[in-house]
């Protein structure tokens, strides 16, 4: 019996607008892609309440000593790893605070590992080895039905960790396994089933929201300045100088002088300039507030 269209996940359905895709010109293809991509932000907007609820749970967990784990297969797993790997250089956090796990292990980051996503027991074992009841697990799967991810979510629930599911289908099986289900149905892809396209974009947008909001709440941002950025190369050392300028209103020469005195730590340089303290006192304020810039600022302001 042939399945009806209602039985097929939206991520696997035919996009009627692209039925003649292989006959279009290059200009027509990119125009169609752009038009389809413009719908993604609206799809994400409709899921904002669920995304916000999940983020609040993540913030609470991390503030109480927990960590954030992403798990997925294929594109979904790679997007989780990408988002996690950007947190240390951008926000100066420990690489173990946000961790991405992919079905098939590290080799699967650059190569397809056949059948890795079909094993729920593999997902269960991955999570059993690393997760505690203080942590949060975000299971990512565009289809919302990946057995590997479902196995991981079930184990996380058994452990007592907070669980989030992120999928791009409505009524996804995975949603039933998570305390905080997020569904962002973006509609059929222009290349049928190629969820690295709209579904991948929606997933990346949601993950960006999750970690960026988390880091803001943890005090890793001052205004809209990434004061915790790690000055590990020439470009980033110059960025620190600009951050110090913008954060204090001083001139470039002063910002450069204080950035050097602070050993490339924009937070320390800003506190030194704002309150006329030495590097040691600025660092101590940050240490006493667990690296929360806003709280360190308030402490020195008193």
Half-sphere exposure of residue 188, counting CA atoms within 13 Å on the CB side? Answer: 14
Catalytically active residues, by annotation: 86, 117
Residue 89 has pLDDT above 50, yes or no: yes
Shared domain check, 200 and 54: yes
Q: Are residues 122 and 188 in the same domain?
A: yes
211 and 147 in one domain? Answer: yes
Residues 190 and 103 in one domain: yes
Query: Is pLDDT of 250 > 60?
Result: yes
CATH number for position 82: 3.40.50.10490
Domain identity same for 263 and 120: no
CATH number of the domain encompassing residue 274: 1.10.8.1080
Per residue in 141-157, pLDDT (tens digit) is: 999 999 999 999 999 99
Q: Answer whether residue 126 is part of any domain.
A: yes
Tens digit of each residue's pLDDT (9 = 90 or more) over 194-245:
999 999 999 999 999 999 999 999 999 999 999 999 888 999 999 999 999 9
Percentage of the chain lying above the pLDDT 90 cut: 93
Residue 1 has pLDDT above 50, yes or no: no
Question: Does residue 275 fall inside a structural domain?
Answer: yes
Whether 293 and 286 have beta carbons less than 8 Å apart is answered as yes
- The domain containing residue 139 runs over which residues? 40-217
Residues 199 and 293 in one domain: no
pLDDT tens track for 71-86: 999 999 999 999 999 9
Q: What are the phi and psi torsion angles at 286 (to 5°)?
A: -70, -40
* Domain count of the fold of the chain: 2
- Average pLDDT of the chain is 95
285 and 206 within one domain? no
Q: What is the pLDDT of residues 254-282, one digit of tens each?
A: 999 999 999 999 999 999 999 999 999 99
Q: Which of 179, 182, 173, 184 is nearest to 158 (CA)?
A: 179
Position 5 confidence tier, pLDDT thresholds 50, 70, 90: low
Contact 215, 93 (CB under 8 A): yes
Distance CA 152, CA 157 (A): 9
Does residue 212 sit in the same domain as residue 247? no
Q: What is the biggest distance separating any 2 CA atoms in the chain, rounded to whole angstroms?
A: 77
The answer to whether residue 242 is domain-embedded is: yes
Residue 2: what pLDDT?
Answer: 47
pLDDT tens-digit series, residues 106-120: 999 998 887 889 999
Q: 3-state DSSP call for residue 35? A: helix
Asked whether residue 13 is domain-assigned, the answer is: no
- H/E run at residue 71: strand 68-72
Same-domain pairing of 102 and 133: yes
Residue 116's pLDDT is what? 85
The reported pLDDT for the residue numbered 7 is 74
Residue 34 belongs to a domain? no
Share of the chain above pLDDT 70, in %: 98
CA distance 196 to 78: 10
Helix, strand, or coil (residue 222): strand
For 96-172, where are the E strands, in sequence order? 98-102, 136-140, 162-167
């Amino acid at each position: 019996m042939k399945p009806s269209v209602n039985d097929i996940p939206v991520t696997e359905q035919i996009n009627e607008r692209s039925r003649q895709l292989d006959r279009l010109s290059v200009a027509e293809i990119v125009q169609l892609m752009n038009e389809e991509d413009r719908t993604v932000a609206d799809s994400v907007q409709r899921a904002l309440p669920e995304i916000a609820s999940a983020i609040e749970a993540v913030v609470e967990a991390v503030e109480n000593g927990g960590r954030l784990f992403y798990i997925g297969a294929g594109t979904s797993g790679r997007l989780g790893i990408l988002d996690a790997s950007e947190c240390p250089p951008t926000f100066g956090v420990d690489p173990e605070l946000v961790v991405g796990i992919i079905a098939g292990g590290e080799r699967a980051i650059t190569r397809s590992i056949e059948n890795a996503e079909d094993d729920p027991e593999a997902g269960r074992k991955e999570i059993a080895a690393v997760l505690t009841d203080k942590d949060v697990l975000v299971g990512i799967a565009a289809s919302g039905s990946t057995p590997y991810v479902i196995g991981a979510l079930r184990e996380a629930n058994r452990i007592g960790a907070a669980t989030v599911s992120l999928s791009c289908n409505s009524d996804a099986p995975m949603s039933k396994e998570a305390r905080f289900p997020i569904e962002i149905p973006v509609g059929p892809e222009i290349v049928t089933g190629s969820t690295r396209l709209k579904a991948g974009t929606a997933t990346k947008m949601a993950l960006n929201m999750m970690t960026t909001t988390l880091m803001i709440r943890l005090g890793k941002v001052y205004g809209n300045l990434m004061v915790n950025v790690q000055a590990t190369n020439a470009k980033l050392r110059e960025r620190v100088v600009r951050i110090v300028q913008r954060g204090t209103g001083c001139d470039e020469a002063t910002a450069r002088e204080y950035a050097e005195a602070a050993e490339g730590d924009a937070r320390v340089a800003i506190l030194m300039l704002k309150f006329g303290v030495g590097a040691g006192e600025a660092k101590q304020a940050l240490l006493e507030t667990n690296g929360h810039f806003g709280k360190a600022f308030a402490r020195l302001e008193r």
